Structure 1
Amino acid sequence: MSPVSGVGRTNLKAEVTVGRVDIGAHAAPSKGSASRLLLALLGLVGVLVFLGLGIWQLERRVWKLDLIARVDQRIHAPVVDAPGPATWADINAAGYEYRHVRLTGSFFGGANTLVQAVTELGGGYWVLTPMRDDRGFTVLVNRGFVPRERKAEFQQESGGPRSPTAIDGLLRISEPGGGFLRSNDPAADRWYSRDVAAIAKARGLTDVAPYFIDAGASSADS
């Protein structure tokens, strides 16, 4: 009788052991399965990021092409008078920037503002000079780029109004604040952007248009 009882106990232990092994196998996934799941999730994230970048680049390309087309259309359009005070409140980049405009009046000598710039010609300055329009308001005119070695020449221009002249150029929107890394410092007369309001305040100008004009090549030295 004892051997039979022993076999029964052995079978029972074996069944319990097998059951435990089966339960353990189902409850704990292998490390290989977890790794594959992680790789799949990382791959999905990568695909989503790639799609997001692709959509962003496409939207940026559409925006850039639209901007190029708009600028090209405006700079080749017939020249019109620079906007007067009645329309200043409505001026924005979408509706007005790069319009081909005309201004007739007199420059203020000795009131230049030199704004730091980097162009294909190297480092230097944009020369902004206020011009009093015949209609009674003032516009800052970007007369062009000068290299660093000519800075003193434009800082020391003789003062007072000059002879009446007419210029044409492209209407540009003010650039408030400063450059990407540096802020304008009016007290030290250091300028990193063409901030119309700040320049007008620093120079004591009144009735100043909220935009400036990039003078055409034929007008820059008037």
Structure 2
Amino acid sequence: MSDLVSPEDNEPRSPARAARPSLWLTVLSLTAFVVLIALGVWQVERRAWKLALIDRVEQRVHAPAQPIPSRAAWPAVSAATDEYRHVSVSGRFLHDRETLVQAVTEEGPGYWVLTPLQRADGTLVLINRGFVPSERRDPSTREAGNPDSQIEVTGLLRITEPKGGFLRDNVPQHNRWYSRDVAAIAAARDLQNFAPFFVDVDAGSQSGSGPIGGLTVIRFPNNHLIYALTWFALAFMLAGRLFVTFGGGLFRRKRFVHETAGGSNASTRRTGSDAGTIVEST
């Protein structure tokens, strides 16, 4: 018995239809493309914001020192408008209420020495007098560097650092400090009428054997351009893949071969009433 073959079985299947993905995969790919482009644009905007921030901070740091904000303005002090401002403040240090905060600096591991400065109006400003190594954490080892008279210090206004350092919480009851949390330090040292910020002293504010000032690190990582290029590159790679999948067949040339019904190769190429015209993809 001879096999029965449907005419459709002998016709080649369209390559474009065979390669066409499912609807959900198409939607997912287009969504991914839009998300990648949006991420790239967001990183470009973030880069512009970071460059503006760096410019503002540079201007604040190198500006002449100005008096710290007045007490009435303290509630409005913020990182956006005031951090790293070059300021000056005068008063007397309360050395018996200093606090040591663990630090790692270019001088090595040790402590920041935070001492309240009492101003003429009775308000207090926490001053980060600078860095001391571990062997000088005892105040008796640096008494010569602790001025008792009225003094003026200049430095950079800094915003409080609440809750602790990276993966380490402050433990006031055991006098272990990992961040410069102004409110927590004030509570632990029974300080009243204190400013909600602190001041990192300049290098010129160091006296005798006192702490080493001027070690404030001002660094703003700015990798947004690399991130933006990465997102855009992934988006265009995906777009290229989508073009190959959906648009590749539109650019395929077709070769038309005309064979007479009685040609020598006609029977081997196609049988049927339309054997005279053959279409081949190239």
The two structures have a TM-score, normalised by structure 2, of 0.60
**Partner AA of 1:69 in structure 2:** D
The alignment covers a number of residue pairs equal to 202
Q: Deviations over 1:70-106 (max 9, x none)?
A: 1111122232211232111111111111111111110
- TM-fit CA distance, 1:21: 7.6
1:45-84 to structure 2, matched below 5 A, reads: 45=32, 47-48=33-34, 50-84=36-70
- TM-fit CA distance, 1:33: 5.2
State how far apart, in whole Å, the 1-side matches of 2:135 and 2:43 are: 41
Distance 1:51 1:146, change over 3 A: farther
- TM-fit CA distance, 1:34: 4.9
Q: In the alignment, is the contact (CA less than 8 A) between 2:98 and 2:116 conserved in 1? A: yes
Question: What residue in structure 1 maps to residue 164 of structure 2?
Answer: 178
**Partner AA of 1:94 in structure 2:** A
- TM-fit CA distance, 1:146: 1.9
State how far apart, in whole Å, the 1-side matches of 2:38 and 2:137 are: 47
Match of 1:110, SS state, is helix
Match of 1:218, SS state, is helix
Distance 1:179 1:81, change over 3 A: same
State how far apart, in whole Å, the 1-side matches of 2:48 and 2:103 are: 28
State how far apart, in whole Å, the 2-side matches of 1:157 and 1:40 are: 72
State how far apart, in whole Å, the 2-side matches of 1:57 and 1:154 are: 51
**Out of 129, 137, 142, which is 1:151 matched to?**
137
2:149 maps to 1:163: yes
1:119-138 to structure 2, matched below 5 A, reads: 119-138=105-124
**Partner AA of 2:187 in structure 1:** K
Q: Percent identity?
A: 50
Question: What residue in structure 1 maps to residue 193 of structure 2?
Answer: 207
State how far apart, in whole Å, the 2-side matches of 1:151 and 1:175 are: 21
Q: In the alignment, is the contact (CA less than 8 A) between 2:136 and 2:142 conserved in 1? A: no
Any gaps of 5 or more consecutive residues in structure 2? 211-282
Q: In the alignment, is the contact (CA less than 8 A) between 1:110 and 1:155 conserved in 2? A: no
Question: What value does the CA root-mean-square deviation take over the aligned residues?
Answer: 3.6
The two structures have a TM-score, normalised by structure 1, of 0.75
Distance 1:42 1:125, change over 3 A: farther
State how far apart, in whole Å, the 1-side matches of 2:199 and 2:58 are: 17
State how far apart, in whole Å, the 2-side matches of 1:42 and 1:120 are: 49
Q: In the alignment, is the contact (CA less than 8 A) between 2:127 and 2:201 conserved in 1? A: yes
Distance 1:155 1:193, change over 3 A: farther
Distance 1:123 1:90, change over 3 A: same
State how far apart, in whole Å, the 2-side matches of 1:217 and 1:41 are: 57
- TM-fit CA distance, 1:56: 3.9
2:173 maps to 1:187: yes
Q: In the alignment, is the contact (CA less than 8 A) between 2:108 and 2:133 conserved in 1? A: yes
2:205 maps to 1:219: yes
